[in-house]
Amino acid sequence: MRASRITGRVFGFAGAGAALAACAGESDPAPPPAPLDEAAVAARSAPIAQGFAADLKTQLTSALQAGGPKNAVSVCQQVAPALAEAASEQSGAEVRRIAARNRNPAGGVPGEMQAQYDELAAQPIADGAPARRIWRAEDGRVHFMSAIPMAEQPCSTCHGKDIDPDLKAHIESLYPEDAATGFAPGDLRGALLITWPAGSFGAEGAGAGAKAGAKAGAKAGEGA
C-alpha cells in the first residue's frame, strides 16, 4: 500500500512538472522578426524595375516607329508579360505589373496592397524618380512596389485622353474590358510589383528560397 502511495506521488509530481513546463512554454513570446533592411531590398529590386521599364520603352518605341500605334499595342500585349517572366527567372522574385485602371483585369491591384498603391497614386514621383514602397507581409514575403508614372511618349498615344477612334477600337478588340485610358502625363499609370520569397532578406540569410517565385511573374503582366 505504501509503495503505491509513493508511486502515485512520484507520478503526481511529474505531471505537475510537465504542466508547469507547458505553461512556461506558452507564456514565452515568439521572438520578433528581424528588422527589414529596406536599403538592401531597394538595392536588389530597383535595377530590376529600371531594367524592365527601359526594355519595355525600347520595344514600344521601335514598334511605334515600325508600324504605328496599333502595332505598339499588339507588341505590348506580347512583350510586357515576356519581360516580366524573364525578370522573374533571372532574379528569383515574382515580377509583374499591376494597375487600378488596367487593360487586363488579371493585372488589378491586390486588395491587401491597395493602401500602398494609393500612396503611390497620391505622389507618383518622389525626388525626381518613380516613388516606391517597401514592406514585409505577414507571410514573410517582401514587396517592392515602384510607381509607373504616365510618360508623354510613347505612353500617351495609347493611354492618354485623346486617343484616335480607330486605335481605340483596336485596343478594345484586344482588351474588351480596357480601362487604361484618360491618363495625363505624370498620373500613376500603374506599378511594377516585385515580390521576394520569405527568407530573402533578414537575419535568416539573404537569398534563401530565391527561386520559389521565379515563374509566377507573367500572369498579371499582360496589359496591366
Determine, yes or no, domain membership for 27. Answer: no
pLDDT tens, the chain, 224 aa long: 444 444 444 344 444 444 434 444 455 666 666 789 999 999 999 999 999 999 999 999 999 999 999 999 999 999 999 999 999 999 999 999 999 999 999 999 999 999 999 999 999 999 999 999 999 999 999 999 999 999 887 889 999 999 999 999 999 999 999 999 999 999 999 999 999 999 999 744 333 333 434 444 444 455 67
**SS in 3 state form for 173-211?**
HHCCCCCCCCCCCCCEEEEEEEEECCCCCCCCCCCCCCC
What pLDDT, on a 0 to 100 scale, did the predictor assign at position 22? 45
Distance spanning both ends of the chain, measured CA to CA: 81
Closest CA to 132 of 117, 111, 146: 146
What pLDDT, on a 0 to 100 scale, did the predictor assign at position 205? 39
Q: Answer yes or no: are the C-beta atoms of 33 and 130 closer than 8 Å.
A: no
Determine, yes or no, domain membership for 201. Answer: no
Closest CA to 217 of 195, 202, 184, 190: 195
| Whether the model pTM is above 0.85 | no
Determine, yes or no, domain membership for 218. Answer: no
Task: Report how far apart, in Å, the C-alpha atoms of 111 and of each of 95, 100, 134 are.
Answer: 18, 10, 16
Phi, psi of 196 (to 5 degrees): -100, 140
What is the DSSP pairing of strand 142-149 with strand 188-196?
A: antiparallel
Q: Answer yes or no: are the C-beta atoms of 99 and 224 closer than 8 Å.
A: yes
Determine, yes or no, domain membership for 29. Answer: no
Q: How many residues does the chain have?
A: 224
* Total structural domains within the chain: 1
What pLDDT, on a 0 to 100 scale, did the predictor assign at position 13? 40
Report how far residue 96's alpha carbon sits from residue 84's, in angstroms, rounded to the nearest whole number.
6
Determine, yes or no, domain membership for 85. Answer: yes
- Structural domain harbouring 112: 36-196
Determine, yes or no, domain membership for 216. Answer: no
Determine, yes or no, domain membership for 4. Answer: no
What pLDDT, on a 0 to 100 scale, did the predictor assign at position 31? 66
Determine, yes or no, domain membership for 169. Answer: yes
Report how far residue 191's alpha carbon sits from residue 100's, in angstroms, rounded to the nearest whole number.
9
